[in-house]
Every structure is written in structure tokens, then in C-alpha cells.
Structure 1
Amino acid sequence: MIFRPAVSVGLVALLALGLAAGGCSALGVAAGAGAVGATAAQSEKGFRRSVADTEIRITINDLWLKADEEMFRKVNLQVQEGRVLLTGNVRLPEQRVEAVRLSWQAPGVREVINEIEVNDTSGLSNLARDTWISTKLKSTLLFDQDVSSIDYSIETVNQVIYLMGVAQSQVELDRVIGHAKNISYVRRVVSYVLLLDDPKRHS
């Protein structure tokens, strides 16, 4: 009786793939195996990122629902690789600010992009000036090499600047607040920024 060792179907398929891709050479087999391994690793990484994005989405929706049911219904949420996009319409500018503030509280958030529109602008004394203030501060932070500008969201309502996001350090946060206070027409600066190592981000 001739003994024939068992060979898995998966291994045969892998070897065949390598031989076909590499002209039946040993190098081709190795390349084929490496490609399969890399694809598997990428898929696993993508799966973990997808799970993390789902956790962020669930956390933010839960925070919104507890804070303001109307805001929860009116604001749309998309998460991609830790980047959060907010869209929709709310009645009041305060709801727009609150939606962003709560979004930054979810662990794993890297950036919040706020495209929420406000239906009732009657409470805004000078919308054009508020827009100018926000744009001015964003530009200043972008060109400050000591500040990670992508980690901050900026909202201005009636010349009051609301800062939200995650600061790398207290020194960086103080620098950002200083920039905000130096802008013309600003009446007040309110910071909801958390430090990178703040326990609230991991609670």
C-alpha cells in the first residue's frame, strides 16, 4: 500500500495561484503566498476600523438622544476612519454647537466636519461677522506649526467662539485660545476642548 500524505484544498489552491502568477517558479509561489497574507492583514485591519467607526456612531447617537431628542432626529451622522461628518438642519444655533461638542466626546474621533444648517437665524445679530471670525481663526490655526488644527472644531455664535476637539497638550490649547482672543470683534471664548489624556475620552 502506498502512503499518500493529506494535502488541504486551500494549500493546493494557494500553490496553484502562486505558480500561475510566478511562472511556476519558487519565487512565484512565495509572491502568491505573500499577496494572500497581505490581503488578509488588510481585511482584518479594515474590519477593526469598521467596528471602531460603528462604535463611534453608536456612542454619538446615544449622547445626542440623551441631550436633545429633536437634535437626534434632525442631524445626520457619517463616520469614516474616525472622521465624523455632520449634516442636517436644526432650529437653533445652540443645537449646532451642542451636536459638535457631543461628537467630540466619543472615543476614537479624529475629526468632526460640521455641515449642519440652522433654520432660525433670527437670533444671530451678525451672521456675516460670525462667519468671518470662524474663518479667521481656522486660517490662523492652519498656519501655526505648533497646533494640530485638524483636531479642533470652531463655531462662532453672536461673536462668541466655541472651541471643541482634542488638544495634544495644555500648552497647545492655551495657544489656540490665545489666537481666538486676539481676533477682532470676539466677545468671549468658550472652550469644550479635551486634552488627549483626559479620562473622559475613554470613559
Structure 2
Amino acid sequence: MIQVSRGWRSVVKTVSVCVLLAAPIAACGPLQMPLEDRTGNDQWLDTQIKSGILGEFSKVDHTYLMDVNVDIWKQEVMVTGMVDSKGKYYDVMSLIKQDNRIKTVHDHLEIADADSIEAYRAAEDEYGKNAVPTDSATQTVSDVWIEGQIKALLLAEKGVSSVNYRWQSVNNVVYIMGEAQTDPELQKVLSIVRRIKGVKRVVSHITLA
């Protein structure tokens, strides 16, 4: 296991990596999660793709596991997060795009200076999900808090299948992907996310079934 001392969010990412890397070994066929509106084969293939990407990240640079988010829905990949150089940006995107099973890559990976990334990590680790900070390094609401609010609100909303969505908040911009069964569901999801305190903008890659 990769040891990361960057607070609870990084620990969660590290544990997720280990689980995903173990999945292809532990399972012997397509995963069956009937609550999601994608087939077992889609779920299994998405898991394989993500575990492969995270495995490559762990070989090349462990900071990719901390700072780059990879979300997948039906072989469409959404990349978010921050790296501190163009070289790392091209490296990350190259590692992702080498899997020819991927249909589309939604690239939202940002390049920032190392000091800004370190300040961002520190602020997120300090505030986490416990509060809406007003005095953080960036004077913004915690992205971890926003992500927690999205999860809670979508889970509680009637007519929304929250298991069909993947989302990340980076510098208070929310990136979301997945599949809505109807246009009213799609509009409801976007409206909920936009109303959350601190959200600056919502970038949607949600498709209609």
C-alpha cells in the first residue's frame, strides 16, 4: 500500500486504489450492481479501466493518486484535479489515453504552481467535511464539503438515482457525469448542485438514457 500523509482525503484515495487494484483479482466475472442504470459488463469494464489507470499512476508518480481524480461511466472518463507542470499534465493524460477501451476523455485537469497545490491540499485537509470555511488559504468553501453536500442532497431527492452520477469539486467548480433517465431528472440534479453554498460553476457531462 502506498503511504500518504496528506489527511483523510488522501487516505481515502489510497484505500480506494488498493480496493480497485484488487478487484480484478478477487472477482471472476462482471460485477452485478442492479441499482445502477448500466449493465454488469459496463460496471466490470469501468472498474478494470480505472484500476489500470490508478495502477499506472502508482508506478509513475504517487502524487497523481493524491491530486488527479479519475471518474468513469460507461467507458467515458472524466479527469479533474491539479498538477504542477505541463510535463505532468501530458504524462497523466498519456497514461489515461493509452487504454483503447475508453470511448471519450473529458479533460478538466488544471496546471497550477506547486505552492498553490500545497496550499489547496492543506486547506482541504484542515476543513474537510466538518465546516464551511471562511478563512481558508483560498477563501473558498471546502471542495470536500461541497462533494459531501452533493452526495447527501442527491441521495435524499425523490426521482433522482444518485448511484448513476459521479462528481468532483475543484476550486469550487463542480464537474459531474453520469446518466439521467429523464430530462426532468437531469434538470433537478443540476439545480440541486448549483444551489449548494460556494459552488461557482457546474460543468455537466450527464447524458440522457
Classify the TM-score, shorter chain: 0.3 to 0.5
Based on CA coordinates, which of the two structures has the bigger radius of gyration?
1
- Tell me which protein shows more helix as a share of its residues: 1
Larger RCO (CA within 8 A; separation ≥ 6): 2
